[in-house]
Amino acid sequence: MQTLRRKDILGLEEMSAEEINLILETARSMREIMQRKIKKVPVLRGRSVLNLFYEPSTRTKASFELAQKYMSSDSVSVAGTSSSLVKGETLKDTVRNVEIMGIECVIMRHPVSGSSHYLARNVEASVINAGDGMHEHPTQGLLDMFTIWEKKGRLEELKVAIVGDIRHSRVARSNLWGLQKMGAEVVVAGPPTLMPPDLNAFGVKHFTVIEEAVDGADVVMALRLQKERQESGLFPSMREYAELYGLTPQRITRAKEDLLIMHPGPMNRGIEISSELADGPQSVVLEQAASGVAVRMALLYLLLGGTKE
Amino acid sequence: MALKHKATVMDEKTMQQALRRIAHEIIEHNRGTEKVVLIGIRKRGVPLAERLQEYLCEIEDFEIPLGILDITLYRDDLIQRQDQPEVHTTDVPFDLTDKHVVVIDDVLFTGRTVRAAMDALIDLGRPAGIQLAVLIDRGHRELPIRADYVGKNVPSSRSELVEVKVKEIDQADRVDILEKIAE
């Protein structure tokens, strides 16, 4: 396959293995540009992109903005707190107004699940979901897969354990869809109260003991404990959570020797992951950040670098 | 649109002769190969550049650096094309600054690929000069560009197709002219 025949990137649930492959292959070519002295190619010259972030973000926002600059597109960024959202304007109105100014692609992060689908249906611009509520974060899933693929040379038949707060995690959802489509075996682990009610839909095994989940794993992915999304009573205390479910060197001894340790960031050090692991030789946390730019450059090219039918 | 074979303008032997001659011309023009680097344009410029590197090495006993250039992101027709070209990796693992860069491609036609290649190269460094070597020059330039080294000039009409085949990709070394005929 040569072309991504879609207007938007909303989630990995609706994406095929073939499409994911094309994105990863394209990202590999983009990574070379990031290593140049002059990190800029003219491919998206004259195309305009809007970054619309209704939730805080450091890495994803910086990563998208850099990808846009490296591809020579023009972009504007609007943060939720400084925008008309606080004046009560609806999402649809906001984006339609900016679209008429010439925006061809909208990158959006929003606290409500499904918001990017809603937006995509209502505007002509391409929409890239940069995280919608507890639903999906497809570019994070893609950059995680790209990082593993670069390190291991494949995704097929790798065992990946996703550990922590699966319930509130859009990163976990995107990875669950994506990795399984690419032929990896995925297991999840964490307290039963932090498992999503629809876990069966993913067809993955669930463990409550971390040591059992990481047994024979090629990759362990720690998730951020999302303090801002916790209803009370899902677990007794941060300290107890760290004691029982935090990733530590002792807890991963049954994993494969060439284990990769991943975390989408930002990390709560000493809670879901120990500093020893986060900064250790198995950690690819920083590679994940670098992969993010390459993957987003690839997506911008595939969505905007040509004519829309 | 069907294609009819019109003529074969190069075979394995004449292709080798042409490339060997170009190798000698590169040495003569640059008074040696000390500061020369080769850049093959994907796709068929790459095996041609590798062969030139081999011939130059036979003559000068010195392996000239070879890089690979993908010009997709520098094309001027992306916005018009319905079929989006695949992006491949550019691999130029050396500094171009103050080098005499010889760009190699299979066919020189409108000159737009070479324009894109020059833009791409200048983003990678500041060469002392850029030269162009092509296996076939078929005319019909749309930009003020000419080749420094030409394997063969093949006057062609716009309705014709010049098809270069190389062993490394197509399992044969030959250049054919095909005519487009309406069915």
Following DSSP, what letter does each residue of B58-114 receive, concatenated? HHHS----EEEE--GGG-S-TTT-SSPPPP---B--S--TT-EEEEEEEEESSSHHH
Query: Residue B86: its chain A contacts at CB < 8 A?
Result: 2, 25-26
User: What is the share, in percent, of chain B residues with pLDDT greater than 90?
Assistant: 89
- Does A301 contact B at CB distance below 8 Å? yes
Distance CA A199, CA A291 (A): 28
pLDDT at A47 over 80: yes
**Between chains, do B73 and A301 touch, taking CB under 8 Å as contact?**
yes
Map out the domains of chain B as residue ranges. Answer: 2-73+88-181
Least confident range from A90-94, A229-233, B12-16, B142-146: namely: A229-233
- Least confident range of A77-86, A292-301, B69-78, B140-149: A77-86
Residue A305 forms contact with B (CB below 8 Å): yes
Q: What is the pLDDT of residue A3?
A: 82
Q: What is the pLDDT of residues A201-217, one digit of tens each?
A: 899 999 999 999 999 99
pLDDT tops 90 at residue A79: no
More confident residue, B98 or A3: B98
Cis before B65? omega within 30: no
To the nearest whole angstrom, how far is the Cα of B97 from the nearest Cα of chain A?
Answer: 12
Interface touch B85/A41, C-beta < 8 Å: no
Q: Which residues, at least 6 apart from A58, have a Cβ–Cβ distance to it below 8 Å?
A: A266
Answer whether residue A83 shows pLDDT above 80: no
> A283 pLDDT exceeds 80?
yes
> Nearest CA of chain B to the CA of A259: how many Å?
28
B131 CB neighbour count, 10 Å cutoff: 18
Chain B environment of A302 (Cβ under 8 Å) = 84
What is the average pLDDT score of chain A? 93
* Of the options 3.40.50.2000, 3.40.1390.30, 3.40.50.2020, 3.30.565.10, the CATH number for the domain spanning B2-73+88-181: 3.40.50.2020
What are phi and psi for residue A194, nearest 5 degrees? -105, 20
> Is A208 in contact with A155 (CB distance < 8 Å)?
no
Q: Is the pLDDT of residue B143 over 60?
A: yes
How does residue A82 score in pLDDT terms, banded at 50, 70 and 90? low
Whether residue B165 is predicted with pLDDT greater than 70 in this model: the reply is: yes
Q: Give me the mean pLDDT over the B39-48 stretch.
A: 97
Per the CB < 8 A criterion, the answer to whether A104 and A95 are in contact is no
pLDDT score of A309 more than 70: no
Mean pLDDT of A145-167: 97
Task: Give contacts of B79 with chain A, Cβ < 8 Å.
Answer: 306-307
CB contact under 8 A, A38 and B82: no
* pLDDT tens column, B87-132: 999 999 999 999 999 999 999 999 999 999 999 999 999 999 999 9
Q: Inform me whether the pLDDT recorded for B52 exceeds 80.
A: yes
- Could you tell me if A61 and A53 are in contact, meaning their C-beta atoms sit under 8 angstroms apart? yes
Among B78, B80, B88, select the one facing A29 at the smallest CB separation: B88
pLDDT of amino acid A253: 96
